[in-house]
Structure 1
Amino acid sequence: MDGSKEKIILNVGGIRHETYCSTLRTFPGTKLCSLTEPNASTLYDYNPTTKEFFFDRSAQLFGYVLSYYRTKYLHCPVDTCRSVLEEELAFWEISDAQLAPCCWLKLTKDSQPEEFNVWDENEHADDQCLIVQVERRDFSWRARWQPKIWSIFEKPFSSLSAKCLAIISLLFIIGIVIIFCEETKAQYEYSAANLTIFGHSDVIHSIHEPYYHQDPYLLHLELFCVLWFTFEFSMRFFFCPDKKKFLRNPLNVADFLSLFPVYIELFTAKQIQKMPNLALWLGFVRVVYLFKLLKIFKLIETPLILRVLSYTLKSIIREICFLLMILAFETLFFGSLFFYGELLGIHSSYRADLHFTDINICFWWALITLTTVGYGDIIPLTIFGQVMAAFAAIFGMLTIIIPIPIFLVKFKGYYATAITKQKLKMSKKRDLVQLQLEEVLIVLFHRSPLAQDVCLETQMAGNP
């Protein structure tokens, strides 16, 4: 009879379970797997009459344990105590790290299913893209080199070449930032040299023709750095698994925009000297160089607390938008009341003392008051205006304080989920290392002379 079709009967808590021996051998090293060994009847409570093993354990939880051997997915009942489940799994020699994510959420009440899925989606997004590319079975040179080159440019710790490339890219980023700061010094000197001094009517005003000047060596150094960034961006875009997702990344868009200012300035070298506004706009676009500094985070492991904070902000983006709408309404409302209240409440002879000329400045005052900053550049002069300022400050504090509990609840849920994920990973890695070690020891034992002697003695005794 085929050994894989041999059946075994288990009596757990008075309930009989019948399964195949091959099912119990699914997870070697566990207690149920040891029941399939020849000497199991002497080690456990075995009834030769009914040919069944008896265990005085929870019959309800054992049903889920046996289902784990059949489906390789471990679940638990809804109303299970965590300590009881851990004790039961420890008896059957099963690690609680094998528990399915949905059941981890049952035991961790602070987490939500969508929160657990968000972590999985974000952590494995890039890997899934590469898997999809491999599954296309495209045997072209691009398909063969795509995972390697993409890992070199996007995963600094994947190989030695990726680390070297990341260090080179970091040096170029630091260099372009230094060049950007030096270029702003030249633009500031140009702006200060062309200020027109106004005096009395009998003074002759000198009018200077606008002229832009930039040191050539700075432009050449910037071009050298931008050529490297052009090469890097082209390689990343060409070997990207998902180009739509690549272009939706704000950092990639900033990298693309940062390539244009130096090329435009080179092609319009003669004309830009007489168009200082164009030079200032190109300098404004060069601010995107600073976004390249964010790539430094790829060289270090992002702290858990920062990752939790980013996921929390993404989850409450709708609440943030609603808060901004309320703040905008309060700005318009209190700004309008302040504007007309000041005009109606102040005497006509004191109109010159007002610190505002139109309602837009009152909107600025309302926003600063609602956020409790209070620069003091605009102050109320009438009783009505002072009352409105007090109400604006109170409503501003309430608008800021009320969303804080929502943020804390979300943050607590994501933090609990993150801790759970880390425990799962550590437990699975520990179990994997232990399993590999056991396999190595088994192989070494079977190859040892002692094991060969034991096998020889067993065969001579007539045992199979």
Structure 2
Amino acid sequence: MEKLCNMDRTNNLRINVGGTIFVCHSHIFKSFPESFLANLEKQEPNYKNDEYFFDRNPHIFAYILDGFRKGSIHLPKDVCGTTFKAEMEYWEVSKEHVAPCCWEALYKSDEDILTMQKLINDCEKNSSFLMMQQKDQSIRNRLWLFLDEPRSSKYAMAWAAFVSVLIVVSTLTEAMTSVPIFHVNYTESEQKIIKKASEFLNWDESSYEKMMTMKPQPYLKLADIVCHSIITLEFIITLVVCHNKMTYVFDFSRICLIIGYFSFWLKLILQLEEISLKSDIAIKMITVFAYLTVLKLARLFYLAKHIPAFYVIRLTMSSSKTELKILMAILAILICVFGTLIYYAEYPNSKISNVFIGMYWALITVTTVGYGDYTPQSVAGHVIAGACASCGVLILALPIGVIASSFYTFYNCNKYGTKHYDHIKVRHN
């Protein structure tokens, strides 16, 4: 039997798609000879009463049929690319016939699906998310959700807000201890300890005298201890009720947090034990623990954990590895080139005495920071500096724009996915 694409040019065909009648010449199917329509025969089961019937989407078929006429397919803006591809697969029309101007509309839905799949996979790995979907929960699970997942209940949200306030207050308290107005002088016994610590750290006389006046006010120290007591207790209870303790503990931020809190409490215990402070070993331990307490700043990740924007940023950075590699490569090339040029342009009458200092200057200039500690003096140096700053603005902005677009996609998918989940949750409840 003769195929439709080989029929006479004047032969008209009636194609009923979803109740909509399309009339066309059979010769137009020669445009895509591998397609389903080009290889139709009249013995097809869909052929009846001088027309073919297909229970498909007539709106999309109109664009596909128009593609047969023009030789290339153009996608409508109001149709999902995934749906359009499904129709093309049914009609056996290859994607190579899609016009270049419509490639984005055709493939963008694939990126959206991958984005949503990443969000779904991330949620499935979250034990708290899975527990929230369970109706019958043990006391341990309820306590875990209360401490780890603010969205599990109003009380959990209130507790998370309370802990967040404690973290902010504790951080501000520690910051206030560095302001001179909140300082008092050390006692004579404490001054001896500071003296031994200065000898251990090889401080000069000015640093030692400055440390002698940096004792924080007692009420600031008390407030810091109260905040740390509650936060540490919350961390211990969370660790006890956690189902997968290895995964929970061996997280980078939590490792830093454990070291920071451990150092804070050990330093406090040693400071309260006046007898132990007479030994050099105790002084050295207090000094080391004092520096390790800086790792307590990892608790700020607790705030980031419950803010959707930070969660989206993490996913964006994870999915933008290629763009970040491009950014680092461009940055390295610019630093090497302009760092070397500025060294030879300024040598020897400049503070830029070697290429590495020139690279440092190039890094600060390319990123448009400009500390001003190293500045060009010659005309050639000024020209190089201008070119370096211009390249930083123009070139570095390109991958950053792609990353920003990825963030926008993740943010929207997360926002609409959360609404969809909340809607399902309300229906099931």
TM-score bin (small chain): 0.5 to 0.7
Q: Which residue of 2 aligns with 1:377?
A: 373
Inter-partner Cα distance in structure 1 for 2:238 and 2:383? 58
Residue 397 (structure 2) aligned to one of 401, 405, 420: 401
Inter-partner Cα distance in structure 1 for 2:207 and 2:425? 72
**1:338 and 2:338 matched:** no
Q: Which residue of 1 aligns with 2:326?
A: 322
Q: Deviations over 1:4-48 (max 9, x none)?
A: xxxxxxxx979xxxxxxxxxxxxxxxxxxxxxxxxxxxxxxxxxx
**1:263 and 2:265 matched:** yes
| Maintained 8 Å contact 2:261/2:293 | no
**1:148 and 2:152 matched:** no
Question: Residue 152 of structure 2: SS of its match in structure 1?
Answer: coil
Shift of 1:295: 3.5
Where do residues 106-117 of structure 1 align in structure 2 (5 Å cutoff)?
Answer: 109=109, 111-117=111-117
Q: Which residue of 2 aligns with 1:140?
A: none
Distance 1:234 1:339, change over 3 A: same
Normalising to structure 1: TM-score of the pair? 0.53
Q: Which residue of 2 aligns with 1:231?
A: 233
Give the alignment's Cα RMSD to 1 decimal: 4.8
| Maintained 8 Å contact 1:334/1:392 | yes
Residue 85 (structure 2) aligned to one of 78, 88, 105: 78
Inter-partner Cα distance in structure 2 for 1:208 and 1:123? 51
**1:176 and 2:170 matched:** yes
Q: Deviations over 1:381-402 (max 9, x none)?
A: 3344334323322332233122
Question: Residue 111 of structure 1: SS of its match in structure 2?
Answer: helix
Inter-partner Cα distance in structure 1 for 2:314 and 2:176? 34
Distance 1:335 1:184, change over 3 A: same
Inter-partner Cα distance in structure 2 for 1:407 and 1:282? 39
| Maintained 8 Å contact 1:335/1:359 | yes
Where does the alignment leave 5 or more consecutive residues of structure 2 unmatched? 1-16, 20-52, 58-81, 89-104, 195-203, 272-276
- Identical columns (%): 21
Question: Residue 320 of structure 1: SS of its match in structure 2?
Answer: helix
| Maintained 8 Å contact 2:364/2:370 | yes
| Maintained 8 Å contact 1:151/1:158 | yes
Distance 1:126 1:271, change over 3 A: farther
Normalising to structure 2: TM-score of the pair? 0.57
Q: Which residue of 2 aligns with 1:162?
A: 156
| Maintained 8 Å contact 2:263/2:292 | yes
Asked which structure has the greater RCO (Cα within 8 Å, sep 6+), the reply is 1
Shift of 1:153: 0.6
Distance 1:179 1:208, change over 3 A: closer
Q: Which residue of 1 aligns with 2:358?
A: 362
Distance 1:222 1:393, change over 3 A: closer
Shift of 1:183: 2.6
Paired residues, what number?
A: 315
Inter-partner Cα distance in structure 2 for 1:272 and 1:339? 52
> Which one has a bigger Cα radius of gyration?
1
Q: Deviations over 1:228-251 (max 9, x none)?
A: 222211111222233343235444
Inter-partner Cα distance in structure 2 for 1:267 and 1:371? 45
Shift of 1:121: 2.0
